Amino acid sequence: MEEFPTVGEVLTLKSELAALEELQALDMETFDNRKELQQIPENLEAMRTDVARVGELLERERDRLNEAEQWRLAREREISVQTDLLKKSKAKLQASRSEKEMKAAQREIDTIKKTISDGEEEALKVLQAIEQYRSAIDEHTKEFAELETHLAASEKEAEERMVELKGQIAKTDGRRQEIAGRISAKTLRLYERIHKRLGMAIVEAAEGKCTGCNLEILAQRYIELQKGQKLIQCTNCFRILVFKGQPQVNGVGHDDA
């Protein structure tokens, strides 16, 4: 003869399932909080890396600007030297006493003029590059300052959020102990085992399927689940099933007595 669960046993099962769902909601909230808590330092480190990268780029640009300015000064000094030499060569030309001396002096003057012309052309190009460097440095200096300000604000917000999350986790840990105390040790161990492996340990059964893995539930098990007289697990993913609709047994709805 089939033994049926007592009303007290059915109520106990319903109470346990309700407690399990409450526990799972709390665990998922704690999981999200712990995940966010872990990600905050990682996100901050990524931001610090980005700021440092822009800072390094800025330093390289400043180094290039300094090198360009040093090169420009060197060219200007060289042009000054060549200009002095040109004056001497012109004086030498005027003091020439023979055609040979005149030709030699003229060749010297032409060479110096070309050197000066080439130097001035190079100096102009470097001057244009220097202006571009300065423009880029001004832009990146502003960007770097904004990034540093944003990082400082983010670090402050992150510190406040981490304190908040730790407080929430501590609060839910205490709440969890209270809820777990309303669940039998056997059922709690089953839940913990599934939760550790799959995350969601309790799922709803709807339209004859487990919403956790979408596998169809055997007709007899679905009927047993609707009766709510014993704990039913999915035969595929082994999650604990709950039924929240109107019980349908052999196509007929049953009101709770």
pLDDT at 4 over 60: no
The pLDDT value recorded for residue 245 is 77
Domain boundaries, the chain: 28-180, 184-253
Taking a C-beta distance cutoff of 8 angstroms, is the pair 47, 151 a contact? yes
The pLDDT value recorded for residue 252 is 38
The pLDDT value recorded for residue 10 is 53
The pLDDT value recorded for residue 11 is 55
**Lowest mean pLDDT segment, chosen from 21-30, 90-99, 148-157:** 90-99
Distance separating alpha carbons of residues 233 and 239, to the nearest angstrom: 5
The pLDDT value recorded for residue 93 is 85
**How many beta carbons lie within 10 A of that of residue 88, not counting itself?**
13
The pLDDT value recorded for residue 174 is 87
- pLDDT top residue among 152 and 8: 152
Q: How do residues 229-239 score in pLDDT, each as one tens digit?
A: 899 999 999 99
Distance separating alpha carbons of residues 239 and 75, to the nearest angstrom: 80
Structure tokens at 10: 């059915």
pLDDT at 254 over 60: no
The mean pLDDT of the chain is 88
pLDDT at 186 over 80: yes
Taking a C-beta distance cutoff of 8 angstroms, is the pair 41, 116 a contact? no
State the pairing for strand pair 240-242/202-206. Answer: parallel
* Residue 255 pLDDT class (50, 70, 90 cuts): very low
Distance separating alpha carbons of residues 208 and 70, to the nearest angstrom: 81
The pLDDT value recorded for residue 251 is 44
The pLDDT value recorded for residue 188 is 95
The pLDDT value recorded for residue 2 is 42
Distance separating alpha carbons of residues 231 and 13, to the nearest angstrom: 7
SS3 216: strand
* Radius of gyration, CA atoms only, the chain: 42
Kindly state the helix (H) or strand (E) to which residue 249 belongs, with its residue range. strand 248-249
- What is the 8-class DSSP label of residue 162? H
Q: Mean pLDDT over residues 120-136, rounded?
A: 90
pLDDT at 5 over 50: no
Residue in 177, 206, 212, 176 with CA at minimum distance from that of residue 194: 212
32, HSE (Cβ side, Cα atoms, 13 Å): 8
28-180, which class in CATH?
mainly alpha
What are residue 201's phi and psi, to 5 degrees? Answer: -100, -25
Asked whether the CA dihedral 55, 56, 57, 63 is positive or negative, the reply is positive
Q: Write the CA distances from 30 to 99, 165, 180, integer angstroms.
A: 100, 9, 15
pLDDT at 39 over 80: yes
Q: How do residues 188-241 score in pLDDT, each as one tens digit?
A: 999 999 999 999 999 999 999 999 999 999 999 999 999 888 999 999 999 999
Distance separating alpha carbons of residues 226 and 219, to the nearest angstrom: 11
